[in-house]
Each structure stands twice: as structure tokens, then as C-alpha cells.
Structure 1
Amino acid sequence: MRKIDFKRIGLILFFSMAIGLVVGSIDFLFGEILLQIGQVRNPNFYKIIPFLAPIGLFIIFLYQKWGKNAHKGLSLIFEVGHGSQEAIPKRLIPLVMVTTWLTHLFGGSAGREGVAVQIGATTAHHFEKYFPEERTSNLFLLIGMSAGFAGLFQTPLAASFFAIEVLIVGHYSWTAFIPAILAAYAASWTSHFLGLEKFQHLLTNQLDFSLFLLLKLLLLSAALAFIGNAFALLLKKIKDFLAKTCPNPYYRIFLVGLLLSLVMFFLPEGRYAGLGTNLIEASLKGEFISSYDWLFKLLLTVLTLAAGFQGGEVTPLFSIGASAGVVLAGIVGLPFEVTAALGYITVFASATNTLLAPIFIGIEVFGWTHSPIYVFVIAIAYFLNRKQSIYGGQRVPY
């Protein structure tokens, strides 16, 4: 019978708590400044958006001057997780934070989750050197990813499942789950204590179970899965296309930045800039959502990230899914609030090839009442995808 090493377990849990506290503090700083940036950008949008292309040049300069392999971003985190890389430079944290703030300030359409995961993974990676045991880097990486996600979104259960399932599709690193969830709760509590607000919208609509309802949900899930697939596929194809046709990163980001500035100048003022939380709020509150909001947000986010601007994909995915859900509500004959919530989690699930994390996002953001529906819709979307992903370093073992 194998002897339980209580000392090792205790040390891992202690490190998990410490990582969560540190990452939660950094997430608070990152998230709070990002919110303030949105308040500065929105009333001055037409004055700021012409400078998106020049600021793109500055972003490339920062990474080429000081970034080294930090320019890989999340791809570097996945490479370390798979063992093909061993080091994550500390400079990744300030670089990705500053360049994401700049992208958002000047009107880029991007998210924040990728930044939070990089913050968490990098922090944990450098904590690992103080642990008195070798070959624990993957464990610490998952702990950090969980803390990073949780500290920003304050969904610790979803963050923990995200960390253990995202590296390899269909594979769950259960040995990391307990320390990951401890770090996630510590990070979530810390960022909340410091003043970062959690987004939550409890659903009030009740749905009567029937075969007809399942058919509606099946149709809805297939449509949302298609949108998530389309986002992941377009992001990859456009990145490849831009890298091939315009290999110089300075030319690439400047030209696409000019295009983004021009397009956004003639669209409704700042509607598709930044995170997309405005579309999420409008979708769930029954405010105006046009039939093309989700499409514009999808295309502009893909162009922003493919060009080399910094930020994540997840909050825009939430925004795309919620606004698409409102449009689909009239087609499938379901309450817009429910379809917006299902769009929020399902497009994310399809674009990231994750199963458990989006279910728990639904539970932690929208409440437990509709959890059987979350499971059904996410499972269908997961079954329909399992190939395309926004994470180029994610492994698909089939």
C-alpha cells in the first residue's frame, strides 16, 4: 500500500493558496484598469480610434525589443504544459498587461481571459522553483491557469475545470483538481475583496420539459456550435493568411489596424470595441440587439487578434454567443434571456473544445435552475466540434 505523503500534499496546498492570493491581486489590477480604460474610450471613441494602427506598431516594438518568446502568449503556456518548452519569462506578465490595455484603449475588439491565464501560469511557473521537488511544472501550470481565470471572472469551479481539461481534448488532469480549485477560490476571493466585481445574471424564466423543448435546444445548440467553430476556424485561417501575405509584423498590424479604424469609424460608436460586455448586457436585459451584432463582433475580434493586437478571445465569445442567442430566440421560440445565456456558454464551449468548464460557467453566472439544459446544449455542441479551437497549442488525440 502506497504511503500518503502528507507533507508534500500540505506544501502543494500551501503553494496553491499563495499562488491564488498573488494572481488574484494581479488580476484585480489588470481588470480594474481595463474597466477604467473602457470608461475613457467610450465617450472619446471617434477621437481615439484613428490611433489604433500606430499603437499596433508600438505593441510589436515592445515584444520585439523585450519580449523574446513571450510573443507566443498562450501558445507558450500550452507548449510548457505539453513539455516542449521549459521556461516562461517573467516579462510576459507586464508585457501582456500593458499591450492589452493599449489594444482596448484605442478601440481594438479583444478580450481578457487569455491575459489572465497567462498571468496565472507565469506566476505559478516561477513559484514552482521554490517547491522542494522536481518535475512538478505541469501541476503548477494548471494551478496558475485556474487561478488566473478565476481571479478575473470569479467563477472558481469553472476555472478549475477549464485548467484540467483545456490542454488535451477529452483528457482531464484530475490529480491537479484539488490544488487548482483551492488556488481558484483564493484568487477569486482576493480579486473580489480588493473590489473587482463579478458578473452574474440569474435567470428567471422557467421552461417546461418536453420532447419539443429538446428539439428546440438541439437546433439552438447546433447553430451556436457552428458559430463557435466559425470563430476558431476564421481566427486560424486569417492568422495564417496574414502571416503568409504580409510576413512583416509591423506592416501587418499597421495595415489591419487602419482597416479596423476605418470600419469601426462608420459603425455605431464603439459598439464593437473592447470586450463586448455592452452586447452581453443588452442581450440579457432585452435591449436592442441587431441581427448582425454577433457577426460584426466576431469578424472584428478575429481581425484584431490575427493582426497581432493583444487580448483574449473568451469575453468576445461570450458577447458573440449572447447576441446570437437573442437572434435565434425568435427562430426556436424560446425566451431571449435563456437563449442569450445559452449562447454565452455554448459558443465559448465550441470555440475552446471544453465540456465541463462552460457548464459550470452557466451555473456560476446564470444560476443552478437551468443546469440540466446547460448540460444538454453544451454536450451537443461539444460532440459537434472537438476539432476546431481558438487555442493552437491544444492537442486533439484523434
Structure 2
Amino acid sequence: MKHFFNFSFHAGSLKQLLGWSLLTIPVGVLAGSASAFFLWALDHVTHIRQQHAWLLFLLPVGGVAVGLLYHWLGREAEKGSNLIIDEIHKPGGGVPRRMAPLVLIGTLITHLFGGSAGREGTAVQMGGSLASGFGRLIRVKSETMRILLMSGVAAGFGSVFGTPLTGAVFAMEVLAVGRIQYDALVPTLIASVVGDYTCSAWGIKHAIYQISFIEPEAASAIFHVDALLLLKAVTAGIAFGLCSLLFSELAHSLQKAYKKLVPLAPLRPVLGGVMVIALVYLVGTRDYLGLGITSPDPKAVTILSAFHPDGAHVLSWWWKIVFTIVTISSGFKGGEVTPLFFIGATLGNALSGLLHAPVDLFAGLGFIGVFAGATNTPLACTIMGIELFGAHYTVYFAAACFIAYFFSGHAGIYSAQRVAVPKKQVDNGVESDVSA
């Protein structure tokens, strides 16, 4: 019996589980409550913007407000999610408590006036900031603080999208390309599940996505696998990866261009706001403003519409890229992930016609595939597909996400992300152009 059960070891494991539960449950409650308030407020400011079209013309003014807010109070908080990733890699000055209210206010301003931005950055930064504040309050050691920060990221991500398992895996996978931080396995899961439960307990509802494609003969199978359809998913995965690479490179390049054109940081969002207004009139639609999940206009292109035939234009994905990088790179707050969902879903919609594939399935593959490539988190995104769309198409989700990850290069939307295991190798070792 002693070979199968070590009382000391398992008693220690139980003690550690209870300890992590006591530490991460409060983090989950804090992050989940913050996400609930944020989503409630975001829904209201989006409704106000949709009801008052003239607010778009105040986007440059909102940009000044965001720029000055961070100029006067931001300090290290200006680094956003990258600061949290850096602190997890190597604890330094810590994550400031002011990050949570600053990013919340900045994101609401961005969406009130029509900036094309997301929400994951806000949730992740609030979760990390609250976790850091809680850790300092109870005076934890640096190694424990690192785990708490990852738990805050997991709780923020899981609660804002209603995907608790994805949140846990994302927090462990996003830190370094090709490596998962398994030492945070239990804490991130606890925090993410508690965060999602807390957010739901506040009465927050998440968008429901549905893939209805199914072949009658495969209806009873646990996983649907068709060789030709799988090949089409792999082909689409290449396109999703290249799209992710395009988004990341354009975003980083435009950010440098803004700094060169406008040396004074608080004024960069003004230029971004003016450019967004110009883009609205150039393209002739407001479909690419805000989150883009739903719209009061039944003819508008949205994430939900992309799951239906004729629900997106051939270049909808491109225009959402342009609107988003112009907004985010100039200094507006929010994040890139929800816009990446929009980009991926509309690109998948367009590819479904070219590949003669189911529209809803390929919109779903794009939804998670472009995100996987841009964040270098293929496992988390595969799990997100299962949590959002169901397990029946798991093989296609994995194919699209893994291939997108492979083709997206080592650059991503998070500059603090490190390369632990390069994506490509040569016979005599790792490619020499990969930097750690």
C-alpha cells in the first residue's frame, strides 16, 4: 500500500490545494465582479453611441481625455497587459492599483465615442491589478505574487468571455511561445471558474454563438471528422495565421509611426480619432466601430451575422483590421481580442465561399483561429471553440488553431511575450533568427 499512497505527499498536496483556494477565490470574486460591472457599463455606453450618431465626431476629444488621463496618472500602467506579463516573468515594481480604474475609464471612453477596440485587455488588466493589490495587502512572497497575477489574468479573461477553462489555459499559455506554466494549473482554474461564476451571479449574459452544420450520418458521433472538410480547415488555418501576422505587424508598425508623427503621447489618440472618422466616410459604414458583436441595424456586418450566408462582405475582415489598428495603436484603450474575433469570423465567412465549406463552421474556425495566431495560444483557443460552439467540431478547431499558430510567426499582439520553444526548427538545431 505504501507504494501507492504516500500520506505525507498527499497531505501536503491537500494543504497546498486549500491554500491556493483561499488565495485565488478572492481574486476570482474581485475580477469577476469587476468584469460584471465593466460589461454592464460597456453595454450601456455602446447603446448610447448607437442611439446618438453624432458622438463619433467627439472621438478625438475622447482621445485627448484618454491620453491626458494616462499622461497624468498612468505611469507604468500605460504598458497595459504587457506590464502584467513582464511582472509574471520577472517581478519588479509591481502592477499599480490604479491600472484597474484607468483602463476601465479609458475603455468606456473609447467605446462611447466609437473607437474600434475590444474588452479582453481591460478585463485582463483589471484582474491583474486587483490580484496584485490583494497580494500586497496580505503581503505574499514574489513567487506567490506571480501565481496570483496569472490567476487574475485567468479570472479576468474567463469571466469577460464566459469561458472559464479557456481563461485558465490562456493565462498559462500566453506568457511564452511554446510553453505552458503548469505550476499555476490549479490556481488559474480556481480563479477563472470563480470569476466566471461571480460575473454570471451578477446577472451578466454573454453572446451565444451557434454552429448548426452537421451531416446526418455523423449526428451520433462524438467528433465530426471528414477528410475533405478537415483539409479545407487546414487551408483556412494557413489564411488565419497569415491574417494574424498581418494584424500584429501592422499594429506594431503603426504604433511606431504615431510616435514619430506625434511625439507628444496624449495627442496621438486625437490623430487616431480623426482617422477613424475619415475611415467611416471612406468605407461608407459604421459597422466596424466598437465591439461589433451585435448591431441594431439588421443589415450590419457583425460577429453574429458572419455565421450566416451573406452576413459579411468579402473585405469585412480587412476593414476591421484597419479600424482597429488605427484606434488601438494611437493610444485608445480596450484590447484587440474581440476585434480579432470579428476579423476571424468575417474572414472565415469569406473563405467558406471560396472553399465551398459550411459558413457557420468556418466563421467559428476564423473566430478562434485568428485569435490563436495573434496571441500564440493555440490550446486555449481550441478550448474556447469547445466552450463556445460545442465539442462536436473539436478536430476542426484544433486543426485551424494549430495551423494558424504555426503560420503566424513569433510576433504577436503582446510584445512582452517571450519565445520559449521556436515554432520552426532545422536539422542542426533551432533557427538562428529566433530571439528569446
TM beyond 0.5: yes
Q: Which residue number corresponds to residue 325 of structure 1?
A: 348
Q: Distance in 2 between matches of 1:189 and 1:84?
A: 30
Specify every segment of 5 or more residues in structure 1 that has no aligned partner in the other structure, as ranges: none
Q: Helix, strand or coil for the counterpart of 1:370?
A: helix
| 1:234-262 deviation per Cα after TM superposition (whole angstroms, max 9, x unaligned) | 11111112212322213322122212112
Are positions 1:116 and 2:123 aligned together? yes
**Counterparts in 2 of 1:271-290, with a 5 A limit?**
271-278=287-294, 279-286=302-309, 288-290=311-313
Structure 1 residue 263, shift from structure 2 partner: 1.8
Structure 1 residue 266, shift from structure 2 partner: 4.7
TM-score by length of 2: 0.87
| 1:367-386 deviation per Cα after TM superposition (whole angstroms, max 9, x unaligned) | 11101111122111122224
Q: Distance in 2 between matches of 1:48 and 1:396?
A: 42
Q: Which amino acid aligns with 2:150?
A: L
> Which segment is superposed worse, 387-396 or 82-91?
82-91
Once superposed, which parts of structure 1, at least 4 consecutive aligned residues long, lie more than 6 Å away?
A: none
User: What is the aligned residue count?
Assistant: 397
* Percent sequence identity over aligned pairs: 32
| 1:290-343 deviation per Cα after TM superposition (whole angstroms, max 9, x unaligned) | 111111111110010000011110000000100111111011110100110000
Q: Which is higher, the Rg of structure 1 or of structure 2?
A: 2
**Counterparts in 2 of 1:91-240, with a 5 A limit?**
91-131=98-138, 133-135=140-142, 136-206=144-214, 209-240=225-256
Q: Distance in 1 between matches of 2:154 and 2:339?
A: 20
Alignment counterpart, residue 260 of structure 2, candidates 230, 233, 244: 244
Q: Is the 8 A contact 1:117 1:148 kept in 2?
A: yes
Q: Which residue number corresponds to residue 315 of structure 2?
A: 292
Q: Which residue number corresponds to residue 219 of structure 2?
A: none
Alignment counterpart, residue 25 of structure 1, candidates 33, 42, 52: 33
Q: Please identify which structure carries the higher helix content.
A: 1
Structure 1 residue 224, shift from structure 2 partner: 1.3
Structure 1 residue 5, shift from structure 2 partner: 5.8
Are positions 1:261 and 2:277 aligned together? yes
Structure 1 residue 265, shift from structure 2 partner: 3.9
Q: Distance in 2 between matches of 1:346 and 1:65?
A: 38
Q: 1:250 to 1:122 in 2, by over 3 A?
A: closer
Alignment counterpart, residue 13 of structure 1, candidates 18, 21, 25: 21
Q: Which residue number corresponds to residue 306 of structure 1?
A: 329
Structure 1 residue 196, shift from structure 2 partner: 1.1
Q: Is the 8 A contact 1:41 1:107 kept in 2?
A: yes
Q: Which amino acid aligns with 1:89?
A: P
Q: Which amino acid aligns with 1:343?
A: G
Q: Which residue number corresponds to residue 383 of structure 1?
A: 406
Are positions 1:57 and 2:44 aligned together? no
Q: 1:370 to 1:200 in 2, by over 3 A?
A: same
Q: Is the 8 A contact 1:76 1:85 kept in 2?
A: no
Q: Distance in 1 between matches of 2:139 and 2:258?
A: 45
Q: Which residue number corresponds to residue 431 of structure 2?
A: none
Structure 1 residue 275, shift from structure 2 partner: 0.8
